[in-house]
Amino acid sequence: MVRPMTENNLISAFAGESQAHMRYILYADRAEKSGYDNIARLFRAIAHAEKIHAGNHY
């Protein structure tokens, strides 16, 4: 059984990492539309890392 405070911290961490994942996806889309393909790839790589981080908290 997980303590309530620990559970809340894990939920908050998951939410933060999930939001970061989506934010980097949006940055990548914007960079790609502006012709910055290398920057878009970088943002997508960071987004992937954030997705993994989120999974670690779930």
pTM score: 0.84
The CA angle 26-41-44, to the nearest 5 degrees, is: 45
pLDDT band for position 44 (cuts 50, 70, 90): very high
Q: How far apart are CA 27 and CA 39, in angstroms?
A: 9
The total number of structural domains in the chain stands at 1
pLDDT band for position 43 (cuts 50, 70, 90): very high
Q: How far apart are CA 34 and CA 25, in angstroms?
A: 14
Residue 29: which CATH number?
1.20.1260.10
Range of the domain at 13: 4-57
The answer to whether residue 2 scores a pLDDT higher than 80 is no
pLDDT the model gives residue 56: 86
Q: How far is CA 45 from the centre of its chain?
A: 10
